Structure 1
């Protein structure tokens, strides 16, 4: 069943998207402000469910590159319109609906900007179920939905990448164009009909971030917020959140390496966790939790939340002295299959371990 996004829903979606970003995906404040500025109180965006898209032609849209430069050089919203117009004119194909490529961070809301301006619906789903750093790390790619044609648009320049097969080469060409033209770009890719898309996407993720944002932004006690968060995830394709620790960040180290923000943070437990000390590693997103041994790794989600209000931290803003609660969240089962782990498992983030599910979760790689 379809539903509507109104202007007052945007802050809720932005909050939910930042939680599922696992510390990456860019801060949602700027795109939230952009959406709030272009939407009127009468505007609404239709969200189509998995049962409503059978005959639609659907394309993935988003931004790639530096979200810092995105925040400094704020887009007008026309960039997404232009990538759509270029795609339709060159492919001679009319687009019926848009879908987020990733639901974590800025790219959960990027399609909404274009949807408002082009009066198009969006699909309730995405291709990652969280945030990942590479365009290849999607369920769309896993399902052989072609990345090409790949349309990119900066403030002033556009290009179309087509006719190539190697996805790594395509990504490098896109990054080169982006770096030469302002550091970030809007893009369109992964076009497919609804019959293919409905079997390839992570379903229900837009609805999930709306419900999640609603729960976290409620003016109520932290214990109530946690209960609400648990209920939201219980009614989803994600697993049950596991509280790992509450305590204080005692140490943060981060550095840039080959374009990625890499580092680690140490958390000293308090109260019932007073004898516990954990380390969280990150590479653009939080990728592992380690005590004596690894207890959580990608693709399972690591939520680093402010202890006072449960608002999420990203990898660039977390600081020593912050009081936090850490949850590990089992990823949707499609992300934990053997084939998908080859794209998003620990080895893809330079971790020298194999994926193991969180306690109580089915091992979708081995079937045990």
Structure 2
């Protein structure tokens, strides 16, 4: 493995990853601003440089564990997470396994969750692997490629900012979600979590590689586009093979935080190029992440005929002028936005992938159709 496969994590790289991962986080994945601040503080305090290594550089016998947060993104707006609780959950995993962990990585690509492994890596002196288990952000613990491939979830460790630590041994990812979610609620709606410990050869076979690189490329493209007076949205569409669904104005937002999730919807009034309004609004429904987009002014108007895009494909809401991603908790009336959608990884388009994270799982009575088909 040559040096070009390794990257030293810098403040600029953190900013680019945070920005690009927020796009790929499809409205969820946590607050990128606080995550970036914590990651920068962690590398500044580290005794040695923190590296991102390629997936194929992971040794087969290594023990590797993801580092993440679980809970509703809205909670983090008032309940700031601590750097220490991430390490507490990680070290609780080492205790449960009876061995040291050689590397960490993000469980999902999201503005905050993509940066959590940097905090842990800086404190533990280990590398971050350029991969994740979703290629985007999903709301539930079993919605990972590891579950699709039949890898065990146990043990799981959870920690809050007060010092509480819980270790559980669920049968699989579904049971992990059932146990971890109510524990998270008791921890204040947000907790540090480690799950799916595995050997390096399992990670290389099941994880989605180079997703942090993609996030950094998207973040850099948005940054450069704005510096050069170009379209950040166009730059994102090019990198993601995406499709522009609608340009418009946010005219209604509803959301509630319950059960460890933030759930709701946003209505976007389509604007023509001359600024005139169209008679066809678009409604996007979410559970932490944006899940379905369809014509109409509310959730009851979703049907196969009105469908514009659906999970497991990615849906993102971007600022019309800058291309900056807008998370579900940041949506406000009057925002000028571009709604885009783009293809998920092929693993999510298998029958099991659609069963685990397709529209039917979330209670939407529609058939999944790839965005390439819907966009035509």
**TM-score under structure 1 length normalisation:** 0.89
Q: Which runs of 5+ in 2 are unaligned?
A: 296-304
Structure 1 residue 97, shift from structure 2 partner = 0.7
Q: How many residues matched?
A: 355
Are 1:157 and 2:164 counterparts? yes
Task: Tell me the residue number matched to 1:366.
Answer: none
The CA distance in 2 between the partners of 1:187 and 1:277, in whole Å, is: 39
Question: By how many angstroms is 1:178 displaced?
Answer: 2.5
**Whole-Å Cα distance in 1 between the matches of residues 284 and 79 of structure 2?**
31
Counterpart CA distance in 1 for 2:72 and 2:233 is: 32
Q: What's the CA shift for 1:41?
A: 9.1
Q: After superposition, where does 1:81-100 map in structure 2 within 5 Å?
A: 81-100=87-106
The answer to whether 1:287 aligns with 2:291 is: yes
Contact between 2:26 and 2:327, CA under 8 Å: does it hold in 1?
A: yes
Q: How many angstroms does 1:272 deviate by? A: 4.5
Distance 2:245 2:73 in 1: 29
Aligned-residue offset at 1:29: 1.3
* Matched residue SS, 2:44: coil
How far off is 1:109 after superposition?
Answer: 0.8
Q: Match of 1:321?
A: 334
Q: Do the aligned residues in 1 keep the contact of 2:256 with 2:263 (CA within 8 Å)?
A: yes
User: In structure 2, which of residues 120, 124, 128 is the aligned counterpart of residue 114 of structure 1?
Assistant: 120
Find the aligned partners of 2:335 and 2:131 in 1 and give their Cα distance. Answer: 33
Give the Cα separation in 2 of the matches to 1:177 and 1:188. Answer: 14
Q: Does 1:170 align with 2:176?
A: yes
Deviation at 1:221, TM superposition (A): 5.4
- Aligned: 1:302 with 2:303: no
Q: Show the counterpart of 2:271.
A: 270
Aligned ranges for residues 179-194 of structure 1 at < 5 Å? 179-194=185-200
Tell me the CA shift for residue 258 of structure 1: 4.2
The question of whether the paired residues in 2 share the 8 Å contact of 1:7 and 1:41 is answered with no
Q: 1:69 to 1:287 in 2, by over 3 A?
A: closer
Structure 1 residue 256: deviation in Å? 4.3
> Equivalent residue for 1:59?
65
- Structure 1 residues 193-244: Cα deviation after superposition (integer angstroms, max 9, x where no partner): 12111121111110111111111122335644344324433xxxxxx11011
Which blocks of at least 5 consecutive residues in structure 1 are unaligned? 234-239, 362-368
Counterpart of 1:359 in 2: which secondary structure? Answer: helix
SS at match of 1:144: coil
| More displaced 10-residue stretch of structure 1: 254-263 or 329-338 | 254-263
**Secondary structure at 1:196 match in 2:** helix
**Contact 1:6 1:41 (8 Å CA) reproduced:** no
- Is it true that 1:228 corresponds to 2:204 in the alignment? no
- CA contact 1:62–1:186 (8 Å) conserved in 2: yes
Matching of residue 333 in structure 1 with residue 346 in structure 2: yes
Q: Distance in 2 between matches of 1:143 and 1:245?
A: 36
Report the CA distance shift for 1:258/1:246 in structure 2 as closer, same or farther (over 3 A): same
2:42 pairs with 38, 44, 48, which one?
38
Q: Partners of 1:304 and 1:68 in 2: how far apart?
A: 17
- In structure 2, C-alpha distance between the alignment counterparts of 1:255 and 1:158, rounded to whole Å: 27
Contact 1:301 1:330 in 2 (8 A): yes
Given that residues 318 and 325 in structure 2 are in contact (C-alpha distance below 8 angstroms), is that contact kept between their aligned partners in structure 1? Answer: yes
Q: Is the Cα contact below 8 Å between 1:307 and 1:325 reproduced in 2?
A: yes
In 2, Cα distance between equivalents of 1:153 and 1:128: 23
Deviations 1:168-214 (A, max 9, x none): 43323223332223332211111111211112111111011111111
Give CA deviations for 1:20-67 in whole Å, capped at 9, x if unaligned.
111112211112111222322985321121211132221111111244
Number of the residue aligned with 1:365 = none
Shift of 1:317: 1.9
Which residue of structure 2 lines up, in the alignment, with residue 251 of structure 1?
252
CA distance in 2, matches of 1:298, 1:137: 12
Check 1:166–1:14 CA distance in 2 against 1; reply closer, same or farther (3 A cut). Answer: closer
Partner SS state of residue 67, structure 2: strand
